[in-house]
Structure 1
Amino acid sequence: MRIVVDLNRCQGYAQCVFLAPETFAPHGEESLMYTPAVPEGGLARVRAAAAACPVRAILVGERAGPGAG
């Protein structure tokens, strides 16, 4: 399972960081770092983080990757 974050859409609300800190981390004041592979046992947290994103910048799925979306 893969994760893609549209960093142009991301506004830095950091809801994902609170819900899945093993995958998402703040980087500076308005930037985000993330691990593109869902960690083992972390799928539910990553999906919750994607659902909580107010601007829907997070895509989770097997097809998430270059050219997806």
Structure 2
Amino acid sequence: MRVQVEIGRCEGYANCVVAAPDVFSLDDEYLVVVDAPTPGEEQRAAVEEAVRSCPAAALALQDD
């Protein structure tokens, strides 16, 4: 699985960080940073929640 982000859509809500703090963080401008672009299967539920909870629809999950 691979996390994709459309950084131009990110509005810094940080829902992704709350849902999956081991995968996402925010930079100094409060934009999403994907710290683990290919998270392990054990992170799937958290990453799927992060994608669903993004109000700006800036995240996507692609299965390899």
TM-score by length of 2: 0.88
Identity, % of aligned pairs?
35
How large is the RMSD of aligned CA atoms in angstroms?
A: 1.3
Aligned to 2:6: 6
Q: Which runs of 5+ in 1 are unaligned?
A: 64-69
The separation in 2 between residues aligned to 1:9 and 1:26, in whole angstroms, is 14
Shift in Å at residue 32 of structure 1?
A: 1.9
Shift in Å at residue 61 of structure 1?
A: 1.7
Shift in Å at residue 33 of structure 1?
A: 1.1
Q: Which runs of 5+ in 2 are unaligned?
A: none
Look at both structures and tell me which one has the larger radius of gyration over its CA atoms: 1
Which structure has greater helix proportion? 2
